[in-house]
Amino acid sequence: MKPPIARRVCFPLVVLCLLALSGGGAMAVESRTVLVLYSNGRLVPGNVEVEAGLRSAIESSAERPVHLFNEFLDNPDFVGDRYERTVTRYLRDKYADRPPAIVVAVARDSLDFVLRHRDDLFPGVPVVHAAVFATFPTPLPALPLDVVGVPVGYEITGSLEQALRWHPGTERLVFVTGSTPRDLSWEALFRAKATDLGPKVKAEFLAGLPIDGLSKRLGELDKHSLVFTAGFYQSGDQQRFTPRDAAELIAQASAVPVYGTFSTFLGTGVVGGVMPRFDAMGRQAGDIVNALLDGTSPAALELPERTRNTLSVDQRQTRRWGIADADIPSDAIVEFRQPTFWAAYRRTAVVGGTVILLQAGLIAALMVEHRRRLKAEMTLVQRGSELAHASRLAIAGELTASIAHEINQPLAAILANTEAAELMIKSGRQKPDDIGNILADIRRDDLRASDVIARLRSLLARQVVARHPIELNEAVAQGCAMLDAEAHRRSIDLVVRAGPSPLRILGDPIQIQQVLINLVLNAMDAVGDLPEDRRKIVVSTVRHADHVTVSVSDRGHGIEATHLPRLFDSFFSTKRSGMGLGLSISRSIVDAHAGRLRVDSWPGKGTVFHMDVPLLGPNGTAPKEYRWT
């Protein structure tokens, strides 16, 4: 009912007077009601988005308070004349004391309802429509001047064309719809649009199927198919859905990409489509509401002819179906953006990269260090062999007297034999046999002398260490042969007790001899003060399971217990002219043969040095290291 004219005129005057009396100060302003009437249920996702858009756009402040009230017609669950009468009565009673300043009708059913009942319910109240199709399910009728809004134009063809561009091998387009009148309208629309597809693409309509049958068919589709849907409210077996839930079910069941009509489908597994956005529709309606509340007359509003449609996609789905990011137009709305590898794993990548860099640096440093060590070790080995060589020169020096004697002996014999032969020839009494015997003696003595020189040369000449399989008894015999003359010179009994051959080891015969000569010369020094009949040195070789022991024993003065720990140190010597290098060089030679050099000594009674060396295995190999127990 309209207020009487007197009241209509007086009310603003009273307000003005009150404002003047209060000096223009703040005073409570009555809030205005905006009634939003939705076609379907509260939880239909499109409604939720429209409401979010409306609320974000409608300005409400202390100076201009606005109250938004939502009502839901709950189509298609509730329909019919009786239901409409109930709703009309309910709305009239409910809003009698808060008459709406504006009614917002969301979607076509709501707009039709408002158009049918507005004169009865809210006469003269402007109506703003939102999410109302321009042509679907029927073309929008001519609207009164105070019923305004921006109609929605669905771009079914635009969506299909985009989908076909992304999937050029498509031969079949499958349209899925439901069984309510609204669903049937979508089917009719799809059938009309399918004719635009051209002869290359066949259209198939899965309309009002029971869920099982629908899922089965969707699962069987081959790779030359695409699915398009507007969702549905009811399946063929009477199951109720929201369009979004139906789209989700379709996308889950489908073996091929699914495209759709509504932005609310994004996130359900649908790839996307050229579609109006429900939140944008809500914002647009909210802007119109603001203008009307601010006093703009509905007829003066300048509104676009249609809502703006945009290509919207779910990036998870575009990637799933092999659509390159570069093929998505730059003005498309891309939702569910997948972070790039860098964005997703930046922290891990930075930490991992740093660790790898550090590790690489460490490895490089270790390699440099390793090379340096190798070089140092090689230098050390060279120095060691030089030292060993120097030590052999010293031995040769020590043996000079006996060597000279050893060479002198055959030379003297040769001289004596030559003189004898001359006398025989001069006397003319020589017999051919005598001369022959003399010459044979000369040859033997000559060979003896050159033998001594050859042994000496081999001891002194070579510096390079060459390790190969050798017979240890032979090396010991040769070493002792070099010492025979010296032993004789010192009146020492040098006895060799060789264990049964073969005693095959991997070694350098010259170095083994060097150790032996060192040990025997030390033993000679140790027994030097004993009476001649007790000057005895025994060199023996004894075979064990997998190694051989060469022992040099004497009955000399022995070694004091306090000297034992330093015995193998370089430059440790108790001799007046000793260098103290013999034992330390011997130990490093034996170590290099994977062996060990040890000593047992009884002060005043004698000393035994043992050189243990691993025997060659049955297949001719020798251990590089040996665990001595």
Q: Which residues bind ligand ADP (CB under 6 A)?
A: 518, 522-523, 526, 554, 556-559, 567, 572-575, 578-583, 607
Closest approach, Cβ 515 to ligand ADP, in A, equals 11
Shortest separation between residue 583's beta carbon and ligand ADP, angstroms:
3
Going by C-beta distance under 8 Å and a sequence separation of 6 or more, which residues neighbour residue 155? 273, 274, 275, 309
How far apart are CB 601 and ligand ADP at their closest, in Å? 7
Smallest gap from Cβ 402 to ligand ADP, in A, equals: 17
* Cβ proximity to ligand ADP, 445 vs 554, nearer residue: 554
- Comparison of 174 and 476: residue with beta carbon closer to ligand ADP: 476
Closest to ligand ADP by CB, 407 or 581? 581
Residue nearest to ligand ADP (CB): 582
Establish whether the linkage from the previous residue to 137 is cis, with ω within 30° of 0.
Answer: yes
Residue 596 beta carbon to ligand ADP: minimum distance, rounded to whole angstroms: 16
Q: Name which of 34, 29, 2, 11 is nearest 126 in CA terms.
A: 34
The enclosing H or E element of 322 equals none
Residues 6+ apart with CB under 8 A from 143: 115, 129
What is the rounded distance in angstroms from the CA atom of residue 533 to the CA atom of residue 530? 8
Contact 539, 480 (CB under 8 A): yes
353 or 578: whose CB is closer to ligand ADP? 578
- Helices and strands: H and E segment counts in the chain: 16, 19
Distance, in Å, from the CA atom of 413 to the CA atom of 416, rounded to the nearest integer, reads: 5
Least distance to ligand ADP from the beta carbon of 508, Å? 19
Question: Which CB sits closer to ligand ADP, 369 or 591?
Answer: 591
Pair of tokens at residue 206 = 């899965």
- Residue 557 C-beta: closest distance to ligand ADP, Å: 6
Degrees to nearest 5, angle at CA 14 with 101 and 8? 45
CB of 574 to ligand ADP, least distance (A): 3
Nearer to ligand ADP, 263 or 607 (CB): 607
Q: Which is nearer to ligand ADP, 85 or 534 (CB)?
A: 534
Give the helix/strand (H/E) hosting 105.
strand 100-106
CA distances from 579 to 12, 168, 376, 390, 572 (A): 128, 95, 25, 12, 7
Name the minimum Å distance from CB 527 to ligand ADP: 8
| Residue listed under structure tokens 């004091």 | 560
Bridge-based pairing of strands 258-260 and 202-207 is unpaired
Q: Closest CB to ligand ADP among 68 and 579?
A: 579
Looking at the DSSP bridge assignments, the partners of residue 316 are: none
Q: Return the residue matching tokens 């002219």.
A: 577
Q: Specify the residue for token string 């996308």.
A: 251
Give CA–CA dist 480/473, Å, rounded. Answer: 10
d(CA 525, CA 539): 15
Q: Give all strands (DSSP E) within 93-141, no chain letters.
A: 100-106, 127-130
CB of 397 to ligand ADP, least distance (A): 12
**How far is the C-alpha of 215 from the C-alpha of 209, rounded, in Å?**
9
Cα–Cα distance for residue pair 274/313, rounded to 1 Å: 9
Closest approach of ligand ADP to the CB of residue 535, in Å: 13
β partners of residue 37: 71, 105
